[in-house]
Structure 1
Amino acid sequence: MSRFFPFYWLVAALLLGSLPSSAQVPSYVLLEGTSVVQTKNYYLLTLFQQVDEVKRLLEKDAELAEMARAKRTQLSRSLTECEKTHTCFTERMKLSEAEISRVSDRLKQLYQPQNALGKLVAQHLVPSGTYILFGKVPSAELLVKAWEQDARGLNYALGVYAEGQKPHYPNIDSISYLPRGRRYFDLVYTATEAIADESQKATLFFEPTLNAALRFLEINHRSEAADFEPMTATVNKAAYDRLKSTSWDKYPYSLILVPGSGPSEPQVALSGIGLLRCRTAALRYFEGMAPFIMVSGGRVHPYQTPYSEAYEMKKYLVETMKVPESAILMEPHARHTTTNLRNCARLIYRYGLPFDKPYLISTSKSQSFYISSSTFEERCQKELLHLPYRPGKRLSNTETEYYPVLGALHSNPFEPLDP
């Protein structure tokens, strides 16, 4: 499998010209699905379930209702028809390209600017920014592109976490089992029974596949996307509550971003380089460079570590460096340097920090120059399909300024641990 994302997503990105700034609404709150993992990965599908008017429209459509029945039947029959390989089950869970195209065509036919689907695009898809990389396209086309991304994202999750295909980063994101032999076959059979049972009353055409993707992420203990959520009520509450009273004009930067660095040893909570990055950032904070420090990094290294880089860095800053908790924002989901910057931009936007004000990245010299290199730009284009930042000036070997960009809002279900 290619390390990078599917070609159809790249084509979409090439069409990007960011939507007008008035199109997105910073105060927009994502509707919650059955789980945080679902909401972050498959937002259109979440909207299909949660917006009653849309749900009724899709349920009543004869062609889409028949697809739901057919998918339920495929799952049930697999329990008696699949006897040799686990992929016999998983292939029936997935959405075929023919099925995806069939739904795309039907959504185009059902869409009207003033009906439930039209309102969905105008009131949710565009304001949320979650599909912003699809650019300025007609509303019906945006709806279809969002559907096709979510559908193929479900298939990707099943390919990796049910079938054992290689993810983009195998060393940290791979399946938790050896996907071969009778023992694994029995696991998938049992999972299929549970998914078929859960999907018996499914009325929407995608729900059996959605249930399957979510269950296999759960079976693999891959809930990283939900860590510490809702953060404004948990780990970020003290800092979030302080944002409204911050006098931004007093500071040259909105925040100091510290990218994480996971240790190699399973028993080590915070690496030496991560500790040193925090110490340097604390010095800049006490110099008055910014009112907040953002520590960024998830449960990444080593494979399936229980330690969150962001949490351990925050702990060090508070306990050792005596930085007030109300001055520390955690971003505990990024798994790569690319997403350190992307997720930082997202929180700046969602939390209402000044979006036109630069932020400062404080890190080790080697990473600082890597982030400002053309190699890193190329990696962002390949993996994120855009640059999630606009570069500013370099201050020192360890500090460089950057500006957030709206493209960072786009959800990416092809990295389901941090979409």
Structure 2
Amino acid sequence: MRSFFFLICCWFCTINVWAQSEGPNRQYVLQSTHNAVQYKNYYLLTLLQQDQAVKKLVQNDPVMSDLFKAREAKITDALKSCQNNTACFTAAFKFSKDEISAVCGRLSFLFKENNALGAMVKSQVIPSGCYNMYSNLKPVDMLLKAWEQDAKAINFAIGVYVEGSKPNYPKIDSIGFNVKDKSYPELVTTNALLSLNTKNKLFFEPSMQFALVALEINERNDAADYEPMMSTVNKSSLLAIKKTNFGTYKYSLILVPGEGPEEHDTELSAGGMLRCRLAVEQYQNGVAPFIMVSGGRVHPYKTKYSEAHEMKKFLIQRLQIPESAIIMEPHARHTTTNMRNAARIMFRYGIPMDKKALTVTVKSQSMYISDVMPKRCIKELGYEPYRMGNRLSDTMLEFYPNVMSLQIDYDEPMDP
């Protein structure tokens, strides 16, 4: 009898360990759409669109159908009555607390571990890592948190890029229109009209389309820059990664955080050039097989130049570094996401996550990364995207990437 109970206990322990081991999968491929801004910001909603069995389940549900019809009716009414009142229009598109709660209730009802929705959570949502902060929850609760996050993300984008609310970094990320201009309401009205596209049948689609078009007309589709990077700007380095024996190097890569210029006609700042040269010194010493350049189209406001792209050009054309040794990360808008996005790429591209990496930059930023950034990351992201190793000099700092970095950031639509 004792041996029987012992075997039962072992079985439960095995099941428990297996359940706890579920999480982000390095072999998982994100389900992309033609619009990278969409799937990078609203990944659950993208899955609901793309998984035909789940889409049918949601579309055919009478409560979800009623929610869609109610949204459609609100938009139709807004087109008739809002006139030049932007806030009136956005109220028809934003998800209220009651609406978010109603969808949670219905998703909870529809979810079964052995149906299409349950299978999607297990095979797509969990291994994607996009909602990694909720990985300790039951699958159904993770689903609900993912929905709440995507709804908040849509509301945030509408708030900033339609209503003109302040983003987290107003100097670089604010709306591109004067919301008090007499012609502005016509743009909002036209966007609202387009959201009634007959293809939109899911409860969230009109609001998501409204938010995406708002980003587009604001010229804020930065999240899509250079995507799909695996088959474009990082194609040669990804092929090299697959052939690299990382065990022969002290570090997995050298990360170079960017610095944007302040003048619109300047492609690469002096600081960016110097950081590249600092990194090349270490690369030529053979400490790591790759240099990752990180930085988006940030400074000055609405610049057309990408820090990472310009640094890559400088490394190739001026410093004679082969393209296959350079990994581009062209989306980060500040130092917190330089580190976070580096960790994301390392995970997705198969670079060892348990091996030290090296960040090389000017003294002031390097000290900022070690002394200030951890607390700032917890405040802004909810976690630390890296763990520090040793400081080697004023300009060099070791770090370990954190897989929690796969978590989507709902209030940064240009770099979620």
Cα distance in 2, alignment partners of residues 201 and 230 from structure 1: 25
Cα displacement (A) at 1:117: 1.3
Instruction: Quote the residue 2:257 is aligned against.
Output: 259
Cα distance in 1, alignment partners of residues 335 and 237 from structure 2: 23
What secondary structure sits across from 2:154 in the alignment? Answer: helix
Cα displacement (A) at 1:135: 3.1
**Gap runs ≥5 in structure 1:** 1-18
User: Among 305, 328, 331, which residue is 1:330 paired with?
Assistant: 328
Cα deviation digits, residues 117-169 of structure 1 (max 9, x gap): 11111101111111001131111100000000001110000000011000011
RMSD over aligned Cα atoms: 1.1
Counterpart check, 1:244 vs 2:242: yes
Cα distance in 1, alignment partners of residues 205 and 64 from structure 2: 12
Instruction: Quote the residue 1:97 is aligned against.
Output: 97
Counterpart check, 1:48 vs 2:48: yes
1:313 alignment partner AA: M
Cα displacement (A) at 1:23: 2.4
Written as runs of structure 1 = structure 2, the 5 A alignment for 1:129-168 is: 129-168=129-168
Larger Rg: 2
Counterpart check, 1:191 vs 2:191: yes
What secondary structure sits across from 1:412 in the alignment? Answer: coil
2:269 alignment partner AA: S
Question: Would you say how many aligned residue pairs link Structure 1 and Structure 2?
Answer: 398
Cα distance in 1, alignment partners of residues 121 and 227 from structure 2: 26
Tell me, yes or no, if the aligned pair for 2:84 and 2:186 is still in contact at 8 Å. Answer: no
Instruction: Quote the residue 1:344 is aligned against.
Output: 342
1:61 alignment partner AA: D
Instruction: Quote the residue 1:362 is aligned against.
Output: 360
Instruction: Quote the residue 2:410 is aligned against.
Output: 413
Cα displacement (A) at 1:83: 2.2
Cα displacement (A) at 1:249: 1.5
201 and 320 in structure 1: CA distance in 2 versus 1, 3 angstrom threshold: closer
Instruction: Quote the residue 1:174 is aligned against.
Output: 174
Same amino acid, percent of matched pairs: 50
Counterpart check, 1:230 vs 2:228: yes
Greater shift in the superposed pair: 363-372 or 77-86: 77-86
Tell me, yes or no, if the aligned pair for 1:308 and 1:332 is still in contact at 8 Å. Answer: yes
TM-score by length of 1: 0.93
Greater shift in the superposed pair: 34-43 or 342-351: 34-43
Tell me, yes or no, if the aligned pair for 2:23 and 2:135 is still in contact at 8 Å. Answer: no
Cα displacement (A) at 1:201: 3.6
Tell me, yes or no, if the aligned pair for 1:259 and 1:337 is still in contact at 8 Å. Answer: yes
Instruction: Quote the residue 2:389 is aligned against.
Output: 392
What secondary structure sits across from 1:244 in the alignment? Answer: helix
Tell me, yes or no, if the aligned pair for 1:68 and 1:202 is still in contact at 8 Å. Answer: no
Cα deviation digits, residues 387-418 of structure 1 (max 9, x gap): 00011001111001000111101011210000
34 and 61 in structure 1: CA distance in 2 versus 1, 3 angstrom threshold: farther
Instruction: Quote the residue 2:280 is aligned against.
Output: 282
Cα distance in 1, alignment partners of residues 402 and 31 from structure 2: 23
Cα deviation digits, residues 210-255 of structure 1 (max 9, x gap): 1111110111111100100111111111111111111212110000
Cα displacement (A) at 1:21: 5.2
Tell me, yes or no, if the aligned pair for 2:37 and 2:224 is still in contact at 8 Å. Answer: yes
Instruction: Quote the residue 2:127 is aligned against.
Output: 127
Written as runs of structure 1 = structure 2, the 5 A alignment for 1:5-84 is: 20=20, 22-84=22-84
**Gap runs ≥5 in structure 2:** 1-18
Cα displacement (A) at 1:187: 1.5
Cα displacement (A) at 1:24: 1.8
Cα distance in 2, alignment partners of residues 301 and 395 from structure 1: 29
Cα displacement (A) at 1:22: 4.7
Tell me, yes or no, if the aligned pair for 1:195 and 1:215 is still in contact at 8 Å. Answer: no
Misfit runs of 4+, over 6 Å: none
Cα distance in 2, alignment partners of residues 83 and 60 from structure 1: 34
Cα distance in 1, alignment partners of residues 22 and 291 from structure 2: 28
Instruction: Quote the residue 1:378 is aligned against.
Output: 375
Cα deviation digits, residues 87-142 of structure 1 (max 9, x gap): 11111011111111000011111111111111111101111111001131111100
Cα distance in 2, alignment partners of residues 129 and 363 from structure 1: 29
Cα displacement (A) at 1:180: 1.2
What secondary structure sits across from 1:181 in the alignment? Answer: coil
Cα distance in 2, alignment partners of residues 244 and 292 from structure 1: 12
Cα distance in 2, alignment partners of residues 341 and 153 from structure 1: 22
What secondary structure sits across from 2:255 in the alignment? Answer: strand
Cα distance in 2, alignment partners of residues 112 and 354 from structure 1: 36
113 and 382 in structure 1: CA distance in 2 versus 1, 3 angstrom threshold: same
